[in-house]
Amino acid sequence: MIDELTLVREQRPDTRAPDHLTVTRARRALLNRAVEGRRRRRRRVIAVGLIAAATLVVVGVVSPWSRTLTPAAAAALTTAHLEEHPEVGADQYLHIRKVERTWGYGEAGEVNPWMLEYWVPGDGSSEWVERSGEPDDRETNSFDDWGPDLYVDHADSMQGLLAQLRDYAKKNGEGPGLHGLWTVAFWIALDPVAPESFKDDVVRAVSSLDGVKVADPSFSSPGLNGRAIEMRGSSDFWFVVDPASGEFRGLVGHPEKDETWVGPEDPMWTIVFDNDVVSDKP
């Protein structure tokens, strides 16, 4: 499958293409920009937003580290992840991997070798490690840059959370209606830094809204299965949830066929987040 770097090189030959770590930071910048609210964001197709972010970083318009929370807030985010994984010892790490698979662009269900990974320290400190690139790419990055305060400071009730998400959408150029809520839910679900329980609450909340319907009651693909839900009038992507609990399991995208499609399957991508416990970081 063609990637963002190739597309930037082809579509912007006058621009120096970024390296993989820059693209990772650009992906994070998409979420950080939501906090700052300095530019209107539209996510019609996932690749379009990522290409735009990578290009903006290259030409110096977007600072990839535009948001840094206090050490206390960063530690609170670490705690939120570790509470969901009590099996992680103080001298171990929670390893989070964003796994993307594609159909119609080569081998069916092929895992993208470019994999975003995080190592969360079991001792509760805020010194996470981030790695991006091909499997043999050993660039690492320790940072104190996190997502929105909303990740660790949000309402317990569904209605309270929906009110916060509406405010979050309005602050970042989206409307307070279903489209805006669906969009910010996508941003949150796509971010490996967002705690799993928060993603569950967000997806449950937007699933309760009028205009959201079941797209496939028993969606199944390698690494992802469950009930798929969509916003009425749009099938760009689905949230996949546990049929019984409503917990978030992953994302499914249905891009339109373009010159990169090779078939024979209809174009599709899935994203899931895998976790395991490891004894060391890169």
Other CB atoms within 10 Å distance of the CB of residue 208: 12
Alpha-carbon torsion, ordered 271, 273, 279, 282, to 10 deg: 40
Helix/strand/coil for 60: coil
- Between 160 and 78, where is the model more confident? 160
- Between 91 and 11, where is the model more confident? 91
Give the pLDDT confidence score for residue 213 in this predicted structure: 94
Cα–Cα distance for residue pair 166/160, rounded to 1 Å: 10
Confidence of residue 224 (pLDDT cuts 50, 70, 90): very high
Cα–Cα distance for residue pair 278/264, rounded to 1 Å: 38
β-bridge partners, 229: 214, 239
| Least confident span in 9-18, 97-106, 150-159, 213-222 | 9-18
State pLDDT tens for residues 236-277.
899 999 999 999 999 999 888 888 888 878 889 999 999 999
**What mean pLDDT do residues 48-69 have?**
33
Task: Output DSSP code: residue 112.
Answer: P
Cα–Cα distance for residue pair 205/239, rounded to 1 Å: 12
Give the pLDDT confidence score for residue 38 in this predicted structure: 29
State pLDDT tens for residues 70-107.
556 667 888 899 999 999 999 999 999 999 999 988 88
Token duo for residue 279: 């004894």
Give the pLDDT confidence score for residue 242 in this predicted structure: 96
